[in-house]
Each structure stands twice: as C-alpha cells, then as structure tokens.
C-alpha cells in the first residue's frame, strides 16, 4: 500500500512486489525474496534427493499447511481465534470422499473437488453467520468452533453401521471412510493421477500460490480492514465498516483454505476418519500457528513442516523417546511459546533482525557524526 | 451417557417417569460438568480449556485410591483434593500471566490439557478398571434407572448451586468476589487483594471440577484419559447458552439443555440428544448472544425502566 | 422532516461560514434512553443547523455522552426518533449511519496503536472514493503530523493521538462531525491547536456538535451552546447568554459543591 503512495515502481517486477509487500507481512526485503526462492527451489528438488516414503510423508505436511494458513489468516490478521478449523478441513475431506466414491470417474473427481471445497466453505459461512451476526463475545467464538468439531467427531464415530452410507460411500464410523479417489488432472484416459511425486508437486504449487495470494490480500485494502477490526472493533464500526460482515468474509475464506487442505488430505491417504474432528488434531493448527507466529503466514507453514516432521520422527522411533511423547512435546511447546514467546518464532526473529540492523546503522551514523566536524 | 433401553414410541406412565429420570440424569451431569468452568469464566473471564483434564484428575484421584482399597467416599475426597492442589499450582504458574490476554489464556490452558491427558495415558495406561455405581437402580415397567445417576447426582448438583449462592451472597468472600468481578480497579482501591481473589476463585473452580470427577468416577464406565472432552463439550455449550452469570446461567442452561437432551435421547437415542445440544447452542449464539442470564439481565433492566 | 419548534431561545444566525439561510442537519424528536431505573436522556427535542459549531455542555451525568452514542447508534433509544439530513436514522446500524455523512470521535483516544499514523488515516480513507495520496497529505498537514507519518500511533503523545483521531474522522469528509470532549486532559497549547483545527474545518463548511466541559475551549470554537441537565435540555443560546445565566451557574455549582 505504501508503495503506491511513494509513487511505486514502474517495472513489472516492481509492481508485483508492490502488491505482495506491505505493513502486514514480514519479509519485504530483496534478501527475503531470494531466500524464499531458494526455499521453494529446495522443496522442488527435494523429491530427487529422497525416498518415495519420505515424499509421501512430506506431501502430508504440505496438505496440513493449508490448515495452518487458514488459522493464521483469521486469527493473526482479523483476531478471530478458531479452535475448530479442523471441522471445515474434515467436512471437505468427507465430502470429497462421498462425491468422489459415488462419481467414480476423472470428471467425478473434479466435481468432488469443487463440491468438497464448497461444502467446507459454506459450513464456515453458516457457522460464521450465527456467531458474528449475533455479536457474541470472542471467547464464545473460540469455544463454539471447538464444540462443532468435537460434536462432528462424536457424530462420525457412530456411523459404523451399513445404514450410514451416502450412495456407494460408507461413512465407516470409527474406522473411517476408505477407497477415496486420488486427485486427477485432466479428463478421461489422458488424465494424470496425482499420487506420490505428482501429488507432492501439485501441493507445492497450490501452497505457494495460496501463500502469495494471501500476501496480496493482507497487504491490500482488505488486509487493512482486517487489521483494523483486529485492533479495535468498535472504532472500526464508527468509520462505517460493517464489522460482522468483514469477520464473516474472513471466516469464510479461512474455511475455504481449510477445505482445500482437507481435499488434499483425503486424496493423499485415500482415507479419512473421525479423528480429524478430534481434540488432539484440532489442537495442532493452534500449535503450528502459535509457534510459527500468528501474524506470519510463512511462519505458520514453516512450523507446520517442522512440527509434523518431528511427530513423524517420533512415531517411527527416531530419537530416545517413544511416539506417545509426541503430544506431550506438542502441548509443552504450545504452553512454552505462549508463555515466553507470545508473538511466535518468526516475528521474534524479524524483530531481532530489525534491532540488529538499527544498531548497525546507528553505529555507522554515530561514526559519521564524529567524522563530520573534521570535514 | 444415558442408560436408556430401546425407545418405545407408545407413551405410558412408565415412559414419562423414564423421561423424567433421563432429564434429571442429564441435568445433574450438565450442572456438575459446567459449574467449575462457569465460576472461573464468570468471575475472571478466563475459559479453562483444561477443565476436562481437571475433572479427569478428580476421576483418577478417586479411582486410584479406590482400587488400592480405600472406601469410595474417602477416595472421592482424594479426587477433590488432587484437583484443587493442581488448580492452585496452575493458577500461580500459568493462568495468572494471562488475565489481560483472554484468548491467549485459552491457548495456554489447551497446551496444558494436551500434556496432562497424554501424561495420564503414559503413566496409567489406556484405561483404569471401572468402578460400579453405588446405590443400585430402580426398575419400573420395562425401564430401570440408576438411583446414583438419576437421583443422587442431580440432588448434589442442586446442593452445589445452593451452596455457591450462599457463598456469593452471604459471606464476606462472596461480597469481595462480586466487587472484584464488577470492577477490579475499584476493588483494589478498596483494599481487596484481587490477585488473591483470583487464586481462591480458581481454586474453588478446580475443587468443583475435582468434585465432578470424583462423583462421576463410579458412573463413567471405563476410565480413559480422553474422557475429559465428554465433559468439556457439555460445559462449553452450557456456558454459551447460560451466559456469564454463574448460578443463574448454569441453572437455566442446564434446565433448557436437559429438556432437549433428555427428550432427544429418549426418543431417538443419546446421539440425537447430543446433536440437539449443538443445535440449541448455535441458535442461541444468534438469538441470545449473552446467553440466557444476559438476556434476563436486559429484560430486568427494561422492566425497571418501564416502571 | 419537521424540526422541533419549542426550544426556548430561537437562533440568531450561527457562525456559519456558509452564511445566509440555515437548514437543520440533525434533529432528535422526544429522544429517550433509560438505563435500568435511570433516565439518562429524557424526551429530548434537539437540532443542529448546517454550518454551525454547536457545543453541548452540562454537569456530569447530564446525558451528553449518552445523547452522542444514541446519535451514532452505539446505544439504541428507549423511545423517540433521530433524523439526519432528512433520513430517519433510528433503526439504522452504526456503520450505515456513518455512510450518511456523520463522523465521530469519542472521548478517550481510540487510534490503532500498532499501525502507523499514515495507516491509521488509511483505514477510514480507503472506504471513500477520494484521492488517497492527496487527502492523506492534506490531512497530515492539517493535523500537523506530517513528520510522524511513518511512526506507530503508540509512540504519539496524548494530544497528538487526539489530533490523529480527529484527522481520521475528517478523512471521511462528513457533513456532521461529533466530538466528545476533544480536549480532555490536554495542555493549553494543545487545546489551542485543536480549537484552530476545528475552526479551519468549520471554515470549509463542516458542521460540528461538540460535547465539552472546558468553557474556555467552548468560547474559542462556538457561540451557540446547549445546556443539558438531568437528561433534559435546560437552556440553549449564545455563549454569552449561557455564561451569564444564573440558573446554569447554579446547576454547575450544585454539581461541584
């Protein structure tokens, strides 16, 4: 935003950067973008350096990153703390399974993708309407979102009987829904089934695109509006903003992001079960985003990759302790971060870098000042 | 949670009695699951996400001594004490840092909840032996109801609410506590140690959670480290529906929700009963954003204004 | 729209820079607000004419801030109606009222502490279709914060925050500006700054309704004053008349004694 006021840059690259940069994201320097490009390139060549199992695991982390982006966007930028983003993730995952199993064709998968994302998005919009237009206090929003997820958990867990089927798709109760199709690209026999490395690249492209898209959004007018709502709702209303509507839009976008993650997740394992609505899974997005930094989209993604990598490591017996300690570590991490590093890791690092740079420039200024009289 | 047998669609006098017992059962459960959470929320604005785990500590604190041979009533005291001590420790070390950051306090207590339930799993295994409910059951026609769950626990629930009412209206602590809720700044200026009030309040909330755990230890069936969330959902829904006033809110929410839950459970099974709770809560968000007690306050004010 | 005619002192032309005939911008009819047993605003018929700077004074608890919050819609009335520029506002949400051309600045500074001065101004400004860069520059000049445009609002002094907030309200280019005690807690110099800011905006045709305690300040910006007491309009008239009024002195003294 400020870029356009300063006259902006005239080159195409400069104009693109203008849209991507602003007060609401960390990392606006050329050095940041070089680092970002290197990181994306590293993720792009990663499949060539490792085994298929690791690639499949990494795809899972990338799918979960959408869930992290979703929470980071609504909590970090609009101040709406949801403990139940997994609800929209799970709804989309089940919807993808139900539609995909019933329409078993490549076109069917396309319909399933659209239908599933819509299902997750509309659920978020509906819940958001009840919460924001009622004008409930913010803590109620937080606990109601969790209640919705937990009740869905109870609901899906008791759908074991054969009467719980939608067409050909058995909901499967506690054991979950199996035979969910993989994602496909294209139509008919030429279609490309996205599995293994293919799915990994599809996820990487989608994630980078979502990240950049969100950067444009939060650095534009709407981002300013979100931040204004986060900082002071009452004041923002007196500038003529329809605050419940703003929150509804934000929450719906968040639901859509979670839903995209859910579709990827269901197609990744060809399977979904009620634990996606459970309290342990619902806690994970909160952990990733708190650790990475709620006001840093990239931090949220980074923390997701790191924490999930750690959890995989523990459950496959790497390290001195067993997998049962993973949740203790995750819970402890959450508690520790919120106590001692409330802004999260990435914003703290950015602050430290800024301080360092300031100190350095101060020092060079003071040397300049001492030199001045001699001139 | 309910021990109802097959749902008969023909109503008889027996069905009505069964429905009544179902209501009492549900009422007792919701009040007891909620009251510890509600007192901390109503007085401090803090939602304790580890509330379910506080109750679990009450359950384990009762079940472990009981299995070691301690008589049940004495074991229950152990459960209450364990939860209270834990609550005071948590307030002093964690919660007191978050009084001006309510959302963060929810995040922090959630971290705590994960750690506690997982540690219970690691230390005590995936389940403890269940304790059979005392007091037996009463049979009538095709039905039978547990006296402990459908008569004794609802009575305890009412006694707890009456006790809290007396505590808040009849004691010096209650007056100071209400002054602190109303306006902490002024309360401090009047010489009230608000920090201490918060600690005591948190201890009372924890003790009540422990009591709930102790009382439900013999009514849960299998005792597993993930039972906390059962209590949590009902407590959250009741707080949202009831609003911030501890006694009026808890009582009215438990009353309303139990009608829906009991009727739904009785006619269509426990699962539909649970779904109805969620639906009521979501509609309440839109219609009564400050819960029933908030609505009653407004209504009272308007009536006074019209006079 | 009819304007209430039963107000005791009929206006001499206000200090309207627009000059000439005045028309009513804001009018309340039998506006009432009860809080529990207390009637904070009691059947008030009140109007503000286009182009004037009207001050609303009265002892503590007279209902001044309540009246302001009723006009902005933060409170909903127990009875009566509010008209603005011919539109019935009574059942409108706050954000819709702002769109009709009302801007408000409440008593305690409510700037976005974590945003820069410039960003603070952008929040309201981006809702209008005015030329962002030009209005920003003008407003920054007007509130004398051009050199602090990039600083976070949390670094500003109390007086600077008040100016910034008036600036934020001004960017919406309102017909009517509501100010609640804009100089509370300010030094004499800061007060004079605010007074000249209001006068310059008034010269450009903006209408003001200002709730104020500080009579020195009232004298600097306005020559027409409404006195509110116990939720009712007690007096209304030019500043000299009000200041000379024994009854007005009595209610203030009664309050302060």
Complete DSSP assignment for A258-322: HHHHHHHHHHHHTEE-GGGGSHHHHHHHHHHHHHH-TT-HHHHHHHHHHHHHHHHHHHTT-SSS-
Same domain, C168 and C232: no
Neighbours of C142 (CB within 10 A): 17
Residue B80 distance to chain A (closest CA, Å): 25
Residue B284 distance to chain C (closest CA, Å): 21
Residue C253 and residue C257: Cα distance in Å, rounded? Answer: 6
Sorted by sequence, the CB contacts under 8 Å of residue B240 that are 6+ apart come out as A136, A140, A143, A144, A147, B281, B284, B285, B291
Q: Do C124 and A240 touch (CB under 8 A)?
A: yes
- Whether A100 maps to a domain, the answer reads yes
Residue that is written with structure tokens 């929040």 in the block:
C123
Sorted by sequence, the CB contacts under 8 Å of residue B55 that are 6+ apart come out as B33, B36, B83, B209, B210, B212, B213, B216, B228, B231
Size of interface B-C (CB pairs under 8 A): 12
Partners of C227 in the β-ladder: C57, C235
pLDDT at C9: 35
Q: Do B281 and A330 touch (CB under 8 A)?
A: no
pLDDT at B11: 62
- Whether A116 maps to a domain, the answer reads yes
Residue C3 pLDDT greater than 60, yes or no:
no
Q: How confident is the model at residue C6 (pLDDT cuts 50, 70, 90)?
A: very low
In A, minimum Cα distance to B95 occurs at A339
Q: Which of C220, C118, B78, C25 is nearest to A23 (CA)?
A: C118
Write out the residue range of the structural domain in which residue A133 sits: 52-276
Q: With contact defined as beta carbons under 8 Å apart, do C105 and C158 qualify? A: no
The two three-digit tokens of residue A212, written as one number: 């950049």
Same domain, C205 and C229: no
Residue B177 and residue B175: Cα distance in Å, rounded? Answer: 5
**Among C94, C111, C115, whose Cβ lies nearest the Cβ of A238?**
C94
- Provide the pairing of β-strand A192-194 with A271-272: unpaired
pLDDT digits (tens, 9 = 90+) for C96-153: 899 888 999 888 778 998 899 999 999 999 888 888 888 899 899 888 898 988 899 9
Residue B156 and residue B162: Cα distance in Å, rounded? Answer: 10
Q: With contact defined as beta carbons under 8 Å apart, do A344 and A294 qualify? A: yes
Q: C20: phi > 0 → left, psi -120 to 50 → alpha, else beta; which? A: left
In B, minimum Cα distance to C34 occurs at B305
Q: How confident is the model at residue A370 (pLDDT cuts 50, 70, 90)?
A: very low
- Whether C81 maps to a domain, the answer reads yes
Residue A69 and residue A206: Cα distance in Å, rounded? Answer: 12
- Whether A134 maps to a domain, the answer reads yes
**How much is the average pLDDT of A230-244?**
91
Size of interface A-B (CB pairs under 8 A): 129
Any chains having at least 3 CB pairs less than 8 A from chain C are: A, B
Residue B166 distance to chain C (closest CA, Å): 26
Beta strand extents in chain C (DSSP E only): 24-35, 38-49, 53-57, 79-84, 87-88, 102-105, 176-180, 207-211, 224-229, 232-238
Same domain, C196 and C117: yes
The model scores a pTM over 0.80: yes
CB contacts of A224 in chain C (<8 Å) are: 119, 122-123, 126
Residue C176 and residue C74: Cα distance in Å, rounded? Answer: 17
- Whether C37 maps to a domain, the answer reads yes
- Provide the pairing of β-strand A165-166 with A169-170: antiparallel
pLDDT at C15: 40
In A, minimum Cα distance to C107 occurs at A235
- Whether A101 maps to a domain, the answer reads yes
Residue B73 and residue B80: Cα distance in Å, rounded? Answer: 11
Specify the higher pLDDT residue, B140 or A178.
Answer: A178
CB contacts of B275 in chain A (<8 Å) are: 151, 155
pLDDT at B304: 64
Residue A65 and residue A113: Cα distance in Å, rounded? Answer: 18
Of the residues B299, B305, B307, the best mutation for testing chain C's interface (the one with the most C CB atoms within 10 Å of its CB) is B305
- Whether A258 maps to a domain, the answer reads yes
- Alpha carbon of A218 to those of A1, A226, C119, C210, C241: distances in Å? 10, 8, 13, 36, 54
Residue C252 distance to chain B (closest CA, Å): 26
Chain A positions contacting chain C at CB under 8 Å are 1-2, 5, 23, 221, 224-225, 227-228, 231-232, 234-243
Same domain, C74 and C96: yes
* CA-atom Rg of chain C in angstroms: 18
pLDDT at C87: 87
Asked if the C-beta of C35 comes within 8 angstroms of chain B's C-beta atoms, the answer is: yes
The two three-digit tokens of residue B98, written as one number: 């978050």
Q: Do C99 and A242 touch (CB under 8 A)?
A: no
In chain C, the number of structural domains is 2
- What is the number of helices (H) and of strands (E) in chain A? 16, 6
Same domain, C236 and C195: no
Same domain, C126 and C89: no
Q: Interhelix angle for C158-171 vs C117-125, to 10°? A: 30
Residue B74 and residue B79: Cα distance in Å, rounded? Answer: 9
- Whether C167 maps to a domain, the answer reads yes
Residue B287 distance to chain A (closest CA, Å): 6
Write out the residue range of the structural domain in which residue C73 sits: 13-100+223-256
Q: C36: phi > 0 → left, psi -120 to 50 → alpha, else beta; which? A: left
% residues pLDDT > 90 (chain C): 17
Of the residues C73, C76, C95, the best mutation for testing chain A's interface (the one with the most A CB atoms within 10 Å of its CB) is C95
Specify the higher pLDDT residue, C42 or A106.
Answer: C42
- Provide the pairing of β-strand C224-229 with C53-57: parallel
A372 burial type by CB count under 10 A (0-12 exposed, 13-18 middle, 19+ buried) = exposed
Within B68-132, residue ranges assigned H as helices are: 72-93, 102-124
Same domain, C95 and C112: no
B245 burial type by CB count under 10 A (0-12 exposed, 13-18 middle, 19+ buried) = buried
Sorted by sequence, the CB contacts under 8 Å of residue A60 that are 6+ apart come out as A265, A268, A269, A308
Helix, strand, or coil (residue B139) = strand
Q: With contact defined as beta carbons under 8 Å apart, do A142 and A82 qualify? A: yes
CB contacts of A132 in chain C (<8 Å) are: none
CB contacts of C152 in chain A (<8 Å) are: none
Residue C81 backbone phi and psi in degrees, to 5? -130, 160
pLDDT at B307: 54
Complex ipTM tops 0.90: no
CB contacts of C37 in chain B (<8 Å) are: 304-305, 307
Same domain, C206 and C238: no
The two three-digit tokens of residue C246, written as one number: 């024994």
Q: With contact defined as beta carbons under 8 Å apart, do A315 and A326 qualify? A: yes
Of the residues C84, C119, C121, C125, the best mutation for testing chain A's interface (the one with the most A CB atoms within 10 Å of its CB) is C119
CB contacts of B307 in chain C (<8 Å) are: 37
Q: How confident is the model at residue A168 (pLDDT cuts 50, 70, 90)?
A: confident
Q: Do A140 and B113 touch (CB under 8 A)?
A: no
In chain A, the number of structural domains is 1
Same domain, C112 and C31: no
Q: Which of B87, B92, B102 is nearest to B196 (CA)?
A: B92
Q: Do A127 and B282 touch (CB under 8 A)?
A: yes
Asked if the C-beta of B305 comes within 8 angstroms of chain C's C-beta atoms, the answer is: yes
Helix, strand, or coil (residue A22) = coil
Q: With contact defined as beta carbons under 8 Å apart, do C11 and B278 qualify? A: no
Q: Do A241 and C127 touch (CB under 8 A)?
A: yes
- Whether C114 maps to a domain, the answer reads yes
In C, minimum Cα distance to A24 occurs at C115
**Among A5, A232, A242, whose Cβ lies nearest the Cβ of C112?**
A232
Q: With contact defined as beta carbons under 8 Å apart, do B134 and A317 qualify? A: no
The two three-digit tokens of residue A320, written as one number: 């001195």
Q: How confident is the model at residue A318 (pLDDT cuts 50, 70, 90)?
A: low
Asked if the C-beta of B272 comes within 8 angstroms of chain A's C-beta atoms, the answer is: no
CB contacts of A151 in chain B (<8 Å) are: 233, 274-275, 277-278
Residue that is written with structure tokens 């979960």 in the block:
A64
Partners of A193 in the β-ladder: A184
Q: Interhelix angle for A197-219 vs A30-49, to 10°? A: 170
Of the residues A5, A235, A248, A354, the best mutation for testing chain C's interface (the one with the most C CB atoms within 10 Å of its CB) is A235
Q: What is the average pLDDT score of chain A?
A: 86
Helix (H), strand (E), coil (C) string for C120-184: HHHHHHCCCCCCHHHHHHHHHHHCCCHHHCCCEHHHCCHHHHHHHHHHHHHHCCCCEEEEECCCC
Asked if the C-beta of B303 comes within 8 angstroms of chain C's C-beta atoms, the answer is: no
Residue B239 distance to chain A (closest CA, Å): 9
Helix, strand, or coil (residue C82) = strand
Residue C106 and residue A237: Cα distance in Å, rounded? Answer: 12
Q: How confident is the model at residue A254 (pLDDT cuts 50, 70, 90)?
A: very high
CB contacts of B233 in chain A (<8 Å) are: 147, 150-151, 154
Same domain, C117 and C205: yes
pLDDT at A200: 93
CA angle A47, A49, A54 (to 5 degrees): 55
In B, minimum Cα distance to A135 occurs at B289
Asked if the C-beta of B123 comes within 8 angstroms of chain A's C-beta atoms, the answer is: no
Same domain, C166 and C120: yes
CB contacts of A239 in chain C (<8 Å) are: 98, 123-124, 127, 168, 172
Same domain, C128 and C200: yes
- What is the number of helices (H) and of strands (E) in chain C? 9, 10
Q: Do C35 and B305 touch (CB under 8 A)?
A: yes
Asked if the C-beta of C118 comes within 8 angstroms of chain A's C-beta atoms, the answer is: yes
Neighbours of C173 (CB within 10 A): 15
Residue B205 distance to chain C (closest CA, Å): 31
Residue B270 and residue B92: Cα distance in Å, rounded? Answer: 39
Helix, strand, or coil (residue A170) = strand
CB contacts of A25 in chain C (<8 Å) are: none
- Whether A56 maps to a domain, the answer reads yes
pLDDT at C21: 52
CATH number at C26 reads 3.40.50.300
Chain A positions contacting chain B at CB under 8 Å are 81, 83, 127, 129-131, 133-140, 142-144, 146-148, 150-151, 154-155, 158, 279-280, 283, 286-287, 290, 324-325, 327-328, 330-336, 338-339, 342
Residue that is written with structure tokens 């809080």 in the block:
C35
- Whether C68 maps to a domain, the answer reads yes
Sorted by sequence, the CB contacts under 8 Å of residue B27 that are 6+ apart come out as B154, B157, B254, B255, B258
In A, minimum Cα distance to C170 occurs at A239
- Whether A84 maps to a domain, the answer reads yes
End-to-end CA separation in angstroms for chain C: 42
Q: What is the pLDDT along chain B (307 residues), one digit of tens a residue?
A: 344 444 445 567 778 888 888 888 889 899 999 999 999 988 888 889 999 999 999 999 999 999 888 888 898 999 999 999 999 999 999 988 888 888 889 999 999 999 998 898 888 888 888 888 788 778 777 777 788 888 888 999 999 999 999 988 888 888 888 888 778 888 888 888 888 888 999 999 999 999 999 999 888 888 888 888 889 988 998 988 888 888 888 888 888 898 888 888 878 877 787 788 888 888 888 888 888 888 888 777 766 655 5
pLDDT at A91: 96
Q: With contact defined as beta carbons under 8 Å apart, do A3 and A197 qualify? A: no
- Whether A69 maps to a domain, the answer reads yes
Residue B6 and residue B24: Cα distance in Å, rounded? Answer: 19
Q: Do C123 and A243 touch (CB under 8 A)?
A: no
Sorted by sequence, the CB contacts under 8 Å of residue A277 that are 6+ apart come out as A86, A87, A90, A149, A150, A152, A153, A156
Asked if the C-beta of C136 comes within 8 angstroms of chain A's C-beta atoms, the answer is: yes
pLDDT at B110: 92
């Amino acid at each position: 935003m400020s870029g356009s006021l300063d006259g902006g840059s005239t080159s195409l690259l400069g104009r693109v950067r203008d849209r991507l940069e602003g007060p609401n994201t960390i990392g606006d320097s050329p050095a940041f973008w070089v680092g970002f490009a290197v990181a994306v390139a590293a993720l792009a060549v990663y499949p060539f350096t490792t085994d298929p199992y690791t690639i499949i695991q990494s795809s899972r982390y990338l799918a979960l990153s959408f869930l992290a982006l979703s929470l980071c966007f609504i909590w970090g930028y609009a101040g709406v703390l949801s403990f139940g983003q997994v609800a929209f993730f799970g709804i989309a995952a089940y919807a993808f399974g139900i539609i995909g199993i019933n329409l078993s064709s490549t076109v069917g998968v396309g319909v399933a993708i659209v239908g599933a994302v819509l299902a997750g998005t509309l659920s978020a919009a509906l819940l958001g309407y009840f919460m924001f237009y009622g004008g409930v206090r913010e803590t109620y929003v937080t606990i109601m979102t969790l209640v919705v997820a937990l009740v869905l958990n109870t609901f899906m867990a008791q759908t074991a009987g054969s009467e719980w089927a939608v067409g050909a798709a058995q909901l499967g109760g506690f054991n979950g829904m199996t035979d969910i199709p993989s994602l496909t690209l294209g139509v008919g026999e030429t279609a490309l089934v996205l599995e293994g490395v293919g799915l990994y690249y599809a996820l990487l492209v989608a994630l980078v695109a979502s990240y950049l898209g969100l950067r444009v959004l939060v650095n534009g007018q709407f981002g300013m509006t979100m931040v204004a709502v986060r900082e002071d709702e009452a004041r923002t209303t007196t500038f003529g903003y329809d605050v419940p509507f703003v929150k509804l839009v934000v929450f719906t976008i968040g639901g859509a992001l979670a839903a995209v993650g859910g579709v990827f997740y269901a197609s990744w394992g060809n399977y979904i079960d009620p634990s996606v609505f459970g309290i342990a899974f619902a806690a994970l997005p909160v952990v990733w985003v708190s650790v990475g930094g709620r006001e840093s989209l990239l931090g949220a993604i980074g923390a997701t990759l790191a924490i999930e990598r750690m959890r995989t490591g523990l459950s496959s017996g790497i390290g001195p302790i067993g997998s049962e300690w993973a949740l203790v570590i995750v819970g402890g991490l959450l508690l520790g971060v919120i106590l001692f590093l409330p802004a999260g890791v990435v914003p703290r690092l950015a602050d430290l870098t800024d301080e360092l740079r300031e100190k350095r420039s101060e020092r060079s200024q003071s040397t300049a000042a001492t030199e001045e009289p001699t001139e | 949670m309910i021990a109802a047998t097959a749902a008969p669609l023909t109503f008889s006098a027996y069905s009505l009695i069964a429905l009544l017992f179902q209501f009492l059962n549900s009422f007792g459960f919701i009040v007891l699951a909620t009251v510890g959470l509600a007192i901390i929320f109503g007085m401090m604005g803090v939602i304790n996400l580890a509330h379910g785990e506080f109750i679990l500590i009450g359950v384990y604190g009762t079940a472990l001594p009981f299995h070691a041979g301690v008589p049940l009533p004495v074991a229950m005291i152990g459960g209450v004490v364990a939860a209270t001590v834990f609550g005071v420790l948590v307030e002093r070390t964690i919660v007191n840092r978050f009084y001006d950051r309510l959302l963060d306090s929810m995040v922090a207590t959630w971290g705590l909840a994960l750690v506690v339930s997982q540690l219970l799993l690691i230390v005590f295994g995936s389940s403890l032996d269940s304790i059979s409910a005392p007091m037996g059951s009463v049979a009538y026609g095709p039905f039978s109801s547990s006296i402990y769950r459908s008569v004794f626990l609802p009575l305890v629930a009412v006694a707890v609410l009456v006790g809290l009412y007396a505590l808040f209206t009849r004691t010096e602590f209650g007056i100071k506590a209400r002054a602190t809720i109303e306006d902490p700044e002024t309360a401090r200026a009047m010489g009230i140690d608000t920090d201490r009030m918060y600690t005591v309040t948190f201890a009372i909330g924890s003790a009540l959670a422990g009591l709930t755990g102790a009382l439900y230890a013999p009514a849960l069936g299998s005792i597993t480290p993930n039972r906390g969330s059962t209590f949590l959902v009902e407590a959250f829904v009741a707080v949202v529906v009831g609003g911030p006033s501890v006694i009026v809110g808890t009582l009215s929410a438990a009353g309303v929700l139990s009608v829906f839950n009991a009727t739904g459970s009785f006619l269509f099974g426990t699962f539909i009963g649970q779904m109805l709770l969620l639906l009521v809560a979501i509609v309440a968000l839109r219609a009564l954003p400050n819960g029933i007690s908030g609505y009653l306050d407004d209504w009272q004010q308007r009536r006074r204004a019209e006079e | 729209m009819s304007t209430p005619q039963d107000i005791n002192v009929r206006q001499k032309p206000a200090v309207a820079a627009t000059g000439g005939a005045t028309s009513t911008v804001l009018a309340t009819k039998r506006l009432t607000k009860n809080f529990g047993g207390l009637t904070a605003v009691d059947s008030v018929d009140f109007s503000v004419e286009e182009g004037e700077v009207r001050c609303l004074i009265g002892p503590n608890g007279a209902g001044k801030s309540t009246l302001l919050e009723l006009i902005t819609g933060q409170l909903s009335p127990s009875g009566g109606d509010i008209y603005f520029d011919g539109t019935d506002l009574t059942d409108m949400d706050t954000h819709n009222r702002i769109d009709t051309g009302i801007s408000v600045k409440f008593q305690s500074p409510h700037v976005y502490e974590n945003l820069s001065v410039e960003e603070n101004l952008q929040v309201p400004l981006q809702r209008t279709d005015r030329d962002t860069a030009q209005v920003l520059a003008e407003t920054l000049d007007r509130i004398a914060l051009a050199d602090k445009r990039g600083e976070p609002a949390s670094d500003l002094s109390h007086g600077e925050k008040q100016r910034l907030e008036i600036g934020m309200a001004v960017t919406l280019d309102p017909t009517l500006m509501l100010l609640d005690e804009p100089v509370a807690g300010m030094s004499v110099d800061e007060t004079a700054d605010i007074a000249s800011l209001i006068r310059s905006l008034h010269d450009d045709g903006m209408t003001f309704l200002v709730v104020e305690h500080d009579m020195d300040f009232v004298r600097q910006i306005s020559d027409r004053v409404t006195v509110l007491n116990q939720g009712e309009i007690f007096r209304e008239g030019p500043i000299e008349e009000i200041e000379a009024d024994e009854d007005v002195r009595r209610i203030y003294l009664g309050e302060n004694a």
